[in-house]
Structure 1
Amino acid sequence: MDRLTEMEAFANVVDQGCFTYAAKKMGLSKSAVSKHVSNLEDRLGARLLNRTTRRVNPTDIGLAYYDRARRVLNDAGEADALVTAMQRSPTGLLRVSVATDFGVSHLSPTLGDFMQNYPDIKVDMVLNNRFVELISENFDLAIRIGALEDSTMQARKLAETNRRIVASPRYLEQHGQPQRIEDLNNHRLLHYSQGSSGSVWKLNSPSGEFRQVRTAGSLSINDGQSLLNAAISGLGLAYLPSYLYSDALKSGQVVKVLPDLPPTKQGIYAVYPPGRFLQPKVRAFIDFLVQEFSHKGPENWT
């Protein structure tokens, strides 16, 4: 007899509470299901079920065996589903959460190529600057930058970005170029109002130590691109990732402030809910992004 069929028959009897309903679920006769269970008990040398005229209940040994058998059956079902899905072209609605600045500057320009390659996938990209709950808010994945705090999620690294202080040449002509971290206290520091570290810049000092500088000032913005625009306009110093300032630096709209400070590196990740089976649409999108960003960062994002 097939060992997996014996397990399935036994598990269905436990689930349904009787042989009759288990047989209907499996599309077999009651006697065939009974024979499968009897063969399983004979092979194991243990009684797995207590049989009465009204109900069938697992013994203590049967209950322990049921827990393991159900896991095996679930894994077998996932394996079958995986093979079936991998033979199909990825399809369905893909919901993606991404920070506004990265989404506008680097993710949205790639969507045309992705959707051309996978015409059966519909993309719903949500731009926001808050931490979304992937499962409860029905997102398939999120693009997150920096340290990953939620260890229950799975992640794949896409690229790296450097964070540096930048300012417009006009601002530095008017207010002077800082020479040390301490000099930042005498400058206008533009504040990212939704940063996880609050109104503090965490900088790497030349000695390798982390230094903290408070940034509470006259301007707070909850969007990185808008902070860059403010810096370009000469409103102050901004501490930004290279994926934002790279073009402006190349064109001379901003320059590096304290350029000898070691940059703070941050990873850019595709984050998705845990599970043994990654949906083909999610896998296709992540693989596409890995290839798309393979030549980007940590400093070059032009």
Structure 2
Amino acid sequence: MDTIRAMRTFIRAVELGSLSAVAREFATTQPTISKIIAGLEAQMGARLLTRTTTALVRTEQGERFYVRARHLVEAYDEAKADVRGLIERPEGRLRIAAPVSFGVLHLNALVLEFMASYPRIEVDVTLNDRFIDLAAEGVDVALRIGGELPPDAVARRIARYARTVVAAPAYIHAHPRIRRPEDLAKHTYLRFAWLTQGDALTLEHRDGRQTTVITQARYRINNSLAIRESLLAGAGIGLAPDWLVADLLARGKLQRVLPAWHASPHELFVLYPPRQYQPLRARLFIEYLTTRLAADTPGGAPG
């Protein structure tokens, strides 16, 4: 039995969730794929997948084997490429995860540009705001903005984004002027839901002074793109990072309120599993992100 081939088949069955989809990808038949999976399960002495009428589901043993199988296959591919002298030919499938809003506004265009430079690399992007387990979900590279970093991944800070209070010109002209942070309490405030500090907003002046204001947040949203659209519609004022609104500020669609004051910056991290053999495609993408995002970040800096 070709164990490497069997592991590849199992890995793709997990990722595609369908034996017929694997058969199409490998240009073979579904019975052949089923036979390969059955042979692997016999070799392992355990059931790896359970088949329902609608999907394939990993068993507990299959979950553990999937993580190790991916690492083994990637290490094998890297070793084979090294022996053949092909280490400088980036190819294969790259799996990326990122927050939804950042992915839509920034990552998507960067990935397309990256793929144009490396036509032999295939990319799977998952946009999700929840924290993910890189190893368990088979992710090569993940992006995370702020928050606690997982202990089982390598994290590199690649950009830092300023956060300031912004509003649409129409809102600013239609409401009392904001001269100092305390005035924010009298205005309609838009904020991200589930903030640990609640409605409290802490700002720092460029001279180092700090103050905290209790805002009146009538509208709380759990998606940054919705906050962006609400600010643009003149629904209120809000604290926003430059990665979310820099283009709107540049076009005059939004304006900074109290420009001498700012909140703690957003830090963008790239995360990847601590592997001994990291695929070349992942290394190239990490370096590409580090260079591009640091260069495109106003006032940003790589970690």
Q: Give the SS at the match of 2:261.
A: coil
Amino acid at match of 2:96: V
Name the residue aligned to 1:228. 228
1:253-264 residue pairs with structure 2 within 5 A? 253-262=253-262, 264=264
1:146-165 residue pairs with structure 2 within 5 A? 146-165=146-165
Contact 1:159 1:296 in 2 (8 A): no
Separation (CA, whole Å) in 2 of partners of 1:125 and 1:154: 19
Name the residue aligned to 1:127. 127
Name the residue aligned to 1:32. none
Separation (CA, whole Å) in 2 of partners of 1:292 and 1:258: 30
- Report Cα offsets for 1:53-91 as digits up to 9, x if no partner: xxxxxxxxxxxxxxxxxxxxxxxx999679459725233
Unpaired segments of 5 or more residues in structure 2?
1-74
Amino acid at match of 1:190: L
Separation (CA, whole Å) in 2 of partners of 1:277 and 1:196: 38
Separation (CA, whole Å) in 2 of partners of 1:102 and 1:297: 13
Greater shift, 87-96 or 220-229, is seen at 87-96
Amino acid at match of 2:161: T
Q: Does 1:250 align with 2:229?
A: no
Q: Give the SS at the match of 2:269.
A: strand
Name the residue aligned to 1:281. 281
Contact 2:167 2:237 in 1 (8 A): yes
Contact 2:186 2:216 in 1 (8 A): no
1:108 offset after TM fit, Å? Answer: 0.4
Q: So what's the TM-score if we normalise by structure 2? A: 0.65
Name the residue aligned to 1:190. 190
Separation (CA, whole Å) in 2 of partners of 1:185 and 1:171: 15
With over 3 angstroms needed to count, the CA separation of the structure-2 counterparts of 1:97 and 1:186, relative to structure 1, is same
Greater shift, 142-151 or 240-249, is seen at 142-151
Contact 2:188 2:237 in 1 (8 A): yes
1:163 offset after TM fit, Å? Answer: 0.8
Name the residue aligned to 1:113. 113
Q: So what's the TM-score if we normalise by structure 1? A: 0.65
Contact 1:95 1:125 in 2 (8 A): yes
Name the residue aligned to 1:69. none
1:128 offset after TM fit, Å? Answer: 1.9
Number of aligned residue pairs: give it. 225
Unpaired segments of 5 or more residues in structure 1?
1-76
Q: Name the Cα RMSD after superposition.
A: 2.9
Separation (CA, whole Å) in 1 of partners of 2:228 and 2:240: 8
Contact 2:163 2:262 in 1 (8 A): no
Separation (CA, whole Å) in 2 of partners of 1:197 and 1:131: 20
1:286 offset after TM fit, Å? Answer: 0.7
1:226 offset after TM fit, Å? Answer: 1.8
- Report Cα offsets for 1:198-247 as digits up to 9, x if no partner: 55434224563554444562212222222121112111111111122111
Q: Give the SS at the match of 1:138.
A: coil
Separation (CA, whole Å) in 2 of partners of 1:211 and 1:137: 42
Separation (CA, whole Å) in 2 of partners of 1:189 and 1:133: 34
Greater shift, 118-127 or 252-261, is seen at 118-127
Greater shift, 253-262 or 267-276, is seen at 267-276
Amino acid at match of 1:270: V
Q: Give the SS at the match of 2:271.
A: strand
1:164 offset after TM fit, Å? Answer: 0.8
Q: Give the SS at the match of 1:219.
A: strand
Contact 2:165 2:262 in 1 (8 A): no
Amino acid at match of 2:254: V
With over 3 angstroms needed to count, the CA separation of the structure-2 counterparts of 1:298 and 1:160, relative to structure 1, is farther
1:98 offset after TM fit, Å? Answer: 1.0
The structure with the larger Rg is 1
Amino acid at match of 2:222: N
With over 3 angstroms needed to count, the CA separation of the structure-2 counterparts of 1:218 and 1:134, relative to structure 1, is same
1:86-97 residue pairs with structure 2 within 5 A? 87=87, 89-97=89-97
Separation (CA, whole Å) in 1 of partners of 2:98 and 2:197: 19
Amino acid at match of 1:285: F
Amino acid at match of 1:296: D
Greater shift, 188-197 or 200-209, is seen at 200-209
Contact 2:202 2:263 in 1 (8 A): no
